[in-house]
Each structure stands twice: as C-alpha cells, then as structure tokens.
Amino acid sequence: MIQNQSNKKNKIRNSIIIVLSIICLVVFTSVLFPQVRRVIIHLAEQMIHKEIYLYQSWFDILFSYAIGGICIILFFDYCVLTNSGKMLVRRVKQEIKDCISEINFRSFLKPGLLIFVVYLLGACTIIRANFLYFDDIRRSVDGSRDWYNWSRYISDFMSIIVHGDYRLTDISPLPQLLAIALLSCSSVLLVYVLGNGKITAMRLLASVPLGLSPYFLECLSYKFDAPYMALSVAVCIIPFLFITRKGAFFFSSVVSLLIMCMSYQVSSGIYPLITVILCFKYWNNRSKSNKEILSFLGIAALAFGFSMAVYRIFFMIPHVDNYTSNTMLPFSSIIAGTLNNLKNYALNVNHDLGIIWKIFIALIMLLFVILSMRQSQRNKLFSLIVSLFVIGISFILSYGIYSVLENPLYAPRALLGFGVFLSILCIYIVLDKIKSAYIVALALNWCLFVFAFSYGNALADQARYAEFRITILLHDLSVLYPEADKDNLSIQLKNSIDFAPVVKNIAKHYPVIERLVPIRLGATGNDWNYRYFTDHFNYNPAYDLSIDFNSLNLPVVLDSYYQTIQSDGKRVLIILKH
C-alpha cells in the first residue's frame, strides 16, 4: 500500500516536471526567433521607460540565454527523470559527502585565525588610508554596481547582500575585512592541499604572497570590489578538497570555476596552476601512478575547458574598448598573439619587482629545483629538467586566460596569479623542514609584508597631496568664476600632478608603486582623476571633449606655481604643473 502511494506520488511529480519542462522549452525555443526577441526587448523597454543598451546586442544575449536554458532543462530532466541520471546524482552526492566527512574543519580554525591576523596587519595601512580607488570614486557617489557589464553576476548579486541594498554606499572597511577573511581561507586551503592535509605555522607564513603580493594589494585597495576578488581566489582552491573522488572533483571544479568567472576572471590561472604543481608532486615522489596522474590531469583539464566554454557561450557579455577586452585572439594568430601577451606579462613583472625581491624569488626557484631533485624518486637529471619546466609552465599559467585575449589587462590586479605562483613555490620548499628554505621564504614574505605598509602609507600621502592641489585649483576657479554653474563653463585638464615625494622615494626600490598609486588629479587617459576632482568636491562643470582647448590659444587669466588657467569666459583650459 505504501509502495503504491510512493509510486503514485513519483508519477505525479514526474508528470508535473515534464509539463513544466515542455512549457519552458517552448518559451526558450521561441526566443531563438528574432521576432520574439524584439517583442521581449520592446516590452522590457516599456517597463523600465528607457532604451536598452549594453556592450553586446540584446538579441545575441537573449539567444545565448535561451540556448543555455534549453541545455539546463534537458540536463535537469535527465538527472530527475532517468534511472542513469538519478544514479549519477546519487553517486556524486555521496562522493561529496564522503570527501567532506574526511576533512576535520575544526583544524582550520587556529591556522585561519593566525593568517587572518597576518593579512589584517599587512592591510591595516591600506584600510587606514581610506583611499577611494578608481571605481570606488563612482560607486561611492552614485551607488551603481554594474559588474554585470563585465559578466560578473556573482559580484553584482553578492554586493546587494553585503551592502544590504540595491544601491551601494561606502561601508569600508567591512568589504576589505571580508576579503581578508576569504584570503585567510584561501591560504589555509592551499596549505592543506599542497601539504597532504597537514597545516603548520611555517607553511601558513610561506603562503603570504597569495594575499600580500603587490598585485593583490591593489585588489585590497578597492573598497567595493575587494571581497569578490578574494572570493574568486578561494573558489579556485576549493575543488582540490574533493580530489580523491573523480565525480565530486569534476562537479565541484565546474561549479567553482563558473563562480570564479562570474566574480573576477583574473583568477582563471589559479586552478590550472595548482593542478600542474600537484601532478608534478605526485610524479616526482611516485605517490601516484602515471595512469592516476594522467586521469587527474585529464579530469581537471576537462572541467576547466568545459567551464570556460559554458561561461563563454552562455554567460559572457563581450566587452571591447581601449581599456581592455574579453575577446579571444583569432585562431590564425593565436600562437603569435599569446607569445606576445606572455612577453608583456613577463616584462611587467620584471619592471614591477625590486632587486631584493628578484634575488629572493630566484633563490626560491633554485631551492624548488634542488629540493625537487632531493625528494625525487625518479632519475635526478630528469627531475631537474621537469622541475625547470614546471616553473616555466606555472609562470605562464599564472596569467590565466588573459594570455589568449586580444587586448588583455596588465594592471597590477590582473597579475594576482603571480602572487599565487610565488605562494605555491614558497609552500613547496618549506614542506621538508629545511632551515635554508625557511629563511629564504620568510625573508621574501617579510619584504612583501613591509611593502604592504609602505604602500598603504603612500596612498594616504598621495591623497593628501592631491587634495591640497585640488583645493588650490578650486579656490582659483571659484575666484575667477564665482557663478560657474550659471555661466555654462566647460573645462579641460592638461597634464597631471606628480606623485607625492613619499611615492617617489618608494619607487626607487619598488617600481610597482607607481603603477599602484593613482595620481588622482589630471588628464591621464582615464576619467577617474577628473571624476574625483569634480564628484567629490561638488564642482561639476561640463567637460568638453569636442575640441582640444589647447589649440584655441585661449588667453591666460591666471598663472601660478601650481597651474596655469587659460579661458575666454566660456571655455577653461587648466594646465597642471608638477
């Protein structure tokens, strides 16, 4: 009797699923026709009372979503309605439960607290500087999110939860504290994965480059973006907790990589980087057979490729401008283009690092090779060659999918994978408790720790200097044009102010500082310097770009030590002096 009732309920449930699936399939299939998409867009425009425009045609977006919806429905039906699908779901679910049951999460608490304190100390001067960093300038004034324009839907959604509203407000340092907490989790998980489940204080300290490299320091500088940047790092490490079960590993990899892509795509190199290091470790000490290593590598490669394809086809909004793009290189030039991107990546890293950093990094790489040979259960010469190859391929992978883009980003935050690369090498060389490795790893990490303090203080000094210059400029403008809002003034800035003396001093030894610290006042190819000068000081004349004011030979109305102002009463050219 009970069995019959259960069967009846299952039939009713399956019937409902089939009916709903058919309805959804009909809807999604109809969206594939251009005429239907036009009707949908027209109705949406009427509801929001404005024209819909994004970087990609909404017709193409709806088409991609419709295809994605159809695939999801068919896969869901397979998992729910077929016996093989049900067995697959049960098997993966059980594998995930088994992996989780094997992990003692309580053992993560003390290490997590330790590394949280280290990261918090390293970031304290950044937090104290209270510096509005690039996009923060706009978000703090107009409360806009707009991460979806870059296909970062997770960031867009999570920001609503973090800020408790659809409109953003400056709630720092809460987002940065959340970012530090996520970084702490990342360090603990990375040590756990690379150290065969054993976490020690030394290994944790060796992981410091993950969060305190100069490249991730830029991520921590963002008051609004920081937690989602840190999230993208953490989710790339999580799948390796399930490495002992193939189904669970593949499923968790796909989910985690999609979350990474929809939070901050710069972290795309972390997953393959860890995969290569683990494969080398298994091969070098013969802890796994070649067949097992190839199986693991194949699953990881399949998961990565599948995730990137799903994201590209169904979620990514193409974005192309002078700043950067997410368009891949054409197939005909992919080899030459990738090599050029990697060359620029290497040149930027080489430019950014101080000589002391380079010495310690070289020593860490040398120790990696020596310890790999020492630990090797293979031919020593062969192990030497393979370890050198692993260092090279790991450096390449650290740049992620950006290496195959037409116009990749080389801003410091885009190179955060290099910090993870250093972190992995540091953890690897301290696994055997060799004092020389301890000294070198701690020395590099101490340098990074000290630089983090210098960087935060440099932000504060640059902010003071920029606001001093802005105050003088606004005073001069208010005297010359006391009713600028009524006079329909339009202005242009020429040149930029210089770095504060503190920044120049740091740059002598750490060139990356000049790429990290924004000038904040001037015409430097982006509008953030100008927007801070206007939006945050309640001065909003029109910024006319229709003609170069410098070509008009406007009369000089004021010439001072800090700036020259030329104007005909309507158009104002401000020539900033260093």
Position 486 scores a pLDDT of 67
Position 317 scores a pLDDT of 76
For every residue of 112-165, DSSP letters joined together read HHHHHHHHHHHHHHHHHHT---THHHHHHHH----GGGGT-HHHHHHHHHHHTS
What are the tokens at 137? Answer: 């300038």
Q: How far apart are CA 526 and CA 194, in angstroms?
A: 41
C-beta neighbour count of 354 within 10 angstroms = 19
How confident is the model over 441-462, as a mean pLDDT? 95
Q: Sorting pLDDT into bands at 50, 70 and 90, what band is 320?
A: low
Counting beta carbons within 10 angstroms of the beta carbon of residue 159, is it exposed (0 to 12), middle (13 to 18) or buried (19 or more)? Answer: buried
Q: Sorting pLDDT into bands at 50, 70 and 90, what band is 56?
A: very low
In this model, does residue 565 exceed pLDDT 60? Answer: yes
Q: Sorting pLDDT into bands at 50, 70 and 90, what band is 398?
A: very high
Q: How far apart are CA 195 and CA 189, in angstroms?
A: 10
Are the C-beta atoms of 405 and 341 separated by less than 8 Å? yes
Where would I find the H helices in 508-568? 513-516, 528-535
How confident is the model over 326-342, as a mean pLDDT? 88
Please, what is the Cα angle at 444 between 439 and 449, to 5 degrees?
A: 120
Q: Write b or e for each residue in 275-309: b if 16 or more Cβ atoms lie within 10 A of its Cβ, otherwise e.
A: bbbbbbbbbbeeebeeeebeebbebbeebbeebbe
Of residues 64 and 248, which shows the higher confidence score? 248
Instruction: Give tens-digit pLDDT for 217-246.
Output: 999 999 999 999 999 999 999 999 999 999
Furthest CA-CA distance within the chain: 98
Quick one: what percent of the chain has pLDDT higher than 90? Answer: 53
Are the C-beta atoms of 189 and 234 separated by less than 8 Å? yes
Are the C-beta atoms of 248 and 92 separated by less than 8 Å? yes
Residue 54 DSSP class: -
pTM of the model: 0.88
Q: Sorting pLDDT into bands at 50, 70 and 90, what band is 315?
A: confident
Q: How far apart are CA 80 and CA 103, in angstroms?
A: 30
Q: How far apart are CA 269 and CA 215, in angstroms?
A: 14
C-beta neighbour count of 33 within 10 angstroms = 12
Position 50 scores a pLDDT of 55
Position 491 scores a pLDDT of 85
Phi, psi dihedral angles at 328 (to 5 degrees): -75, 155
Of residues 230 and 488, which shows the higher confidence score? 230
Q: How far apart are CA 247 and CA 299, in angstroms?
A: 9
Q: How far apart are CA 145 and CA 155, in angstroms?
A: 9
Least-confidence region, from 27-41, 73-87, 539-553: 27-41
Of residues 143 and 31, which shows the higher confidence score? 143
Are the C-beta atoms of 432 and 198 separated by less than 8 Å? no
Domain parsing of the chain, residue ranges: 2-81, 104-433, 458-576
Taking each continuous run of H as one helix and of E as one strand, the counts in the chain are 23, 5
In this model, does residue 171 exceed pLDDT 50? Answer: yes
For the stretch 216-220, contacts whose Cβ atoms lie closer than 8 Å and that sit 24 or more positions apart, written own/partner, are 216/183, 216/413, 216/416, 216/419, 217/123, 217/126, 217/412, 217/451, 217/452, 217/455, 217/516, 218/133, 218/411, 218/412, 218/413, 218/516, 219/179, 219/413, 219/416, 220/123, 220/126, 220/176, 220/179, 220/180
Instruction: Please state, in angstroms and as integers, the Cα–Cα distance from residue 348 to each residue in 381, 397, 415, 432, following that order.
Output: 32, 16, 9, 33
Q: How far apart are CA 526 and CA 519, in angstroms?
A: 11
Rounded to 10 degrees, the C-alpha dihedral 460/466/468/472 comes to -170
Q: How far apart are CA 334 and CA 345, in angstroms?
A: 16
Q: How far apart are CA 257 and CA 265, in angstroms?
A: 9
Instruction: Give tens-digit pLDDT for 523-532.
Output: 755 567 777 8
What are the tokens at 41? Answer: 């867009």
Cα-Cα-Cα-Cα dihedral sign, residues 50, 54, 60, 64? negative
Three-state SS for 543?
strand
What are the tokens at 542? Answer: 């029109």
Three-state SS for 578?
coil
